[in-house]
Amino acid sequence: MVRIYHNSRCSKSRATLALLEGHDVEVVNYLDTPPDAAELRRLLKLLGISARQLLRSGEAIYKELGLAEARLDDEALIAAMAAHPILIERPIVVANGKAVVGRPPESVLAIL
């Protein structure tokens, strides 16, 4: 089973989903059903990155919330992503006990 945290309005997410054709895929429209803090912590561990690395810094809410402040720890950033899922980089694909951000989309092929 492959899980993709997907945003249908995102071209990279759509391209990644197309690459998964032929696999048993669970599509999580994360803007409609956002991951909670515990799920975000699990994803970060699988990705092997910090919460800051998963943030979309170009979103207006990023600036509104002052998320660029270096004093904010992973827990504060995770809480912000859980409350405002538009801040989560996409798409995230989980397969075979590993995860990767599909940027570029072809990067997901390494975990299939």
Give the pairing of strands 92-95 and 98-101.
Answer: antiparallel
Q: Give SS3 for 28.
A: strand
Residue 61: name the closest of 39, 41, 31 by CA.
Answer: 31
Q: Which among 10, 31, 46, 111 is annotated as catalytic?
A: 10
Active-site annotation holds for 10:
yes
Q: Running DSSP on this structure, what letter comes out for residue 77?
A: H
Catalytic positions are 10
